[in-house]
Amino acid sequence: MNYTRSSALFSEAEHVIPGGVNSPVRAFKAVGGTPVFVKEAKGAYLIDEDGNSYIDYINSWGPMILGHAHKPVVDAVIEKTKLGTSFGTPTAIETEIARLAVSMVPNIDKIRFVNSGTEACMSAVRLARGYTKKDKIIKFAGCYHGHSDSFLIQAGSGAVTFGSPNSPGVTQGTAKDTLLAKYNDIANVKDIVEANAGEIACIILEPVAGNMGCVPPKEGFLEALRLLCDAHNILLIFDEVMTGFRLAKGGAQELFNVKADIVCFGKVIGGGLPVGAFAARAEIMNYLAPLGPVYQAGTLSGNPLAMAAGLAMLTELNDDAGIFKRLEEKTAYLHKGLSKVLNDNKIVHTINRTGSMISVHFSDAPVVDFDSAALGNNTFFKQFFHGLLDQGIYIAPSAFETWFISDALSYEDLDKTINAVNIVVKTFK
Ligand SMILES: *Cc1c(COP(=O)(O)O)cnc(C)c1O
């Protein structure tokens, strides 16, 4: 493939944008080479500035669950735009999407919209601290909750890929209130809770981790966290920015039948526009300003274009009874095909999958937490990434990312992908 125009655009971008990108995961630093500049996308395909087309397994890092430029979403945004793009007043559509979200997700009464997943998680933790009147939080190594200070302690994918798990700029004072636990290790969490008795406001986690590859919770792990939180007056926060409206209508809470106290959303809920949200029972949400003492605000929060995109997206997911099963079946088909090809070529690997999230690890140890996710053969991964790119298959440029399956992917696209993997792994050195 020819990447001439992308390379030229990247050189220009580097002069005026740090690293040429507005989010570090978009750079190809971990795999080498220069990022592909995308000009447009439709359905399951991306088209870059050189005219190359790719089957897309990133889907804007999660939001595009129905594929790119999905007509009902695009039409909703165009129609809304004609009426003005921001008012800084309440609008009817905010209540409409809030009512729909609350009806789809178990165990929430109220929801507040923000502009990103980062804001959602940051605000959820502030709310948990305000509500419980305690300061410390527990997070898990390899889980990503956005880039706010409290979370930049072993933060998975982006931060790991770039070798700065503890970012400069995060003060010791902030870092000391974030306690780090091992994912899927309940004994470790119990030890931390006991050593900090009476001081922990919340435990936050990705109920299916998606920022160290796809790492599902072990049987009983979420249930045990729920019991631990109940016993110690700790709020359980599910960061469903990735899993919400993706694994099921009601996200991981529904899939695993475990209740969280606060749930964070982003990605799918915005239909591809910048949206995040956090939600809980009324007694917790009523702690927020203007009703309660915990402050949280946003000039563009609940923006009409963003709400229109999100509402169109959620409406479709709510009305399509078969969607989540269909996505899971496509992902299972891909899993089976990839396993066969990797086995036939004697490539050491582990594949993890939940719903429409899947990841390929070049290691044969079970991938259950950050340490085991870090064991993958990175030399193989780089060859895999660039080989697939050249075959017109776009996966994330980091071994710590999940692939996202969209409903726009056809079985023909999946077969093309499996064939491309067969060609690429034969070139591994
Ligand atoms: C993407 C992500 C975030 C951050 O969302 P942004 O919109 O990028 O700020 C938070 N948590 C999880 C689980 C995510 O995958």
Per-residue pLDDT band at 164 (split at 50, 70, 90):
very low
pLDDT higher than 70, residue 99: yes
Catalytic residue among 3, 54, 57, 144: 144
Rounded CA-CA distance 304/302 in Å is: 6
SS3 of the chain: the string is: CCCHHHHHHHHHHHHHCHHHCCCHHHCCCCCCCCCCCEEEEEECEEEECCCCEEEECCHHHCCCCCCECCHHHHHHHHHHHCCCCCCCCCCHHHHHHHHHHHHHCCCCCEEEEECCHHHHHHHHHHHHHHHHCCCEEEEECCCCCCCCHHHCECCCHHHHHCCCCECCCCCHHHHCCEEEECCCCHHHHHHHHHHCCCCEEEEEECCCECCCCCECCCCCHHHHHHHHHHHHCCEEEEECCCCCCCCCCCHHHHHHCCCCCEEEECHHHHCCCCCEEEEECHHHHCCECCCCCECCCCCCCCCHHHHHHHHHHHHHHHHCCCHHHHHHHHHHHHHHHHHHHHHHCCCCCEEEEECCEEEEECCCCCCCCHHHHCCCCHHHHHHHHHHHHHCCEECCCCCCCCEECCCCCCHHHHHHHHHHHHHHHCCCC
List pLDDT tens digits, range 335-372. 999 999 999 999 999 999 999 999 999 999 999 999 99
List pLDDT tens digits, range 239-273. 999 999 999 999 999 999 999 999 999 999 999 99
Rounded CA-CA distance 299/278 in Å is: 17
* Pocket perturbation via mutation, ligand 1, pick of 122, 125, 238, 242 by most ligand atoms within 8 A of CB: 242
Rounded CA-CA distance 53/40 in Å is: 10
Instruction: Please state which of the ranges 14-18, 26-30, 220-224, 252-256 shows the lowest mean pLDDT.
Output: 26-30
List pLDDT tens digits, range 289-329. 999 999 999 999 999 999 999 999 999 999 999 999 999 99
Q: What is the pLDDT of residue 163?
A: 40
Per-residue pLDDT band at 19 (split at 50, 70, 90):
very high
Q: Which atom of ligand 1 is nearest to the CA of 239?
A: 13
pTM of the model: 0.96
Q: What is the pLDDT of residue 355?
A: 98
pLDDT higher than 80, residue 122: yes
* 144 catalytic per annotation: yes
Just give the CATH number of 4-69+322-428. Answer: 3.90.1150.10
pLDDT higher than 80, residue 158: no
120 alpha carbon – ligand 1 mean position (Å): 9
* 218 catalytic per annotation: no
- Angstrom distances, CA of residue 395 to CA of 36, 57, 195, 361, 370: 12, 5, 41, 13, 20
* 39 catalytic per annotation: no
Which one has a higher pLDDT value, 366 or 164? 366
Tell which residue, 417, 427, 429, has the closest CA to residue 360.
417
For the chain, the structural domain boundaries read 4-69+322-428, 71-319
Per-residue pLDDT band at 174 (split at 50, 70, 90):
confident
> CB under 6 Å to ligand 1: residues?
116-118, 121, 144-146, 206, 210-211, 239, 241-242, 266, 276
Catalytic residue among 57, 267, 369, 407: 267
Cα 252 to chain center, whole Å?
A: 13
- The dihedrals phi and psi of 109, each to the nearest 5 degrees, come to -105, -35
Tell which residue, 348, 354, 364, 350, has the closest CA to residue 331.
354
- What is the mean pLDDT of the segment spanning 188-196? 96
Domain 71-319 fold is Aspartate Aminotransferase; domain 2 (3.40.640)
How confident is the prediction for the chain on average, in pLDDT?
95
338 alpha carbon – ligand 1 mean position (Å): 27
Per-residue pLDDT band at 171 (split at 50, 70, 90):
confident
Per-residue pLDDT band at 155 (split at 50, 70, 90):
low
Burial label for 148, CB within 10 Å (0-12, 13-18, 19+), is middle
Q: What is the pLDDT of residue 161?
A: 47
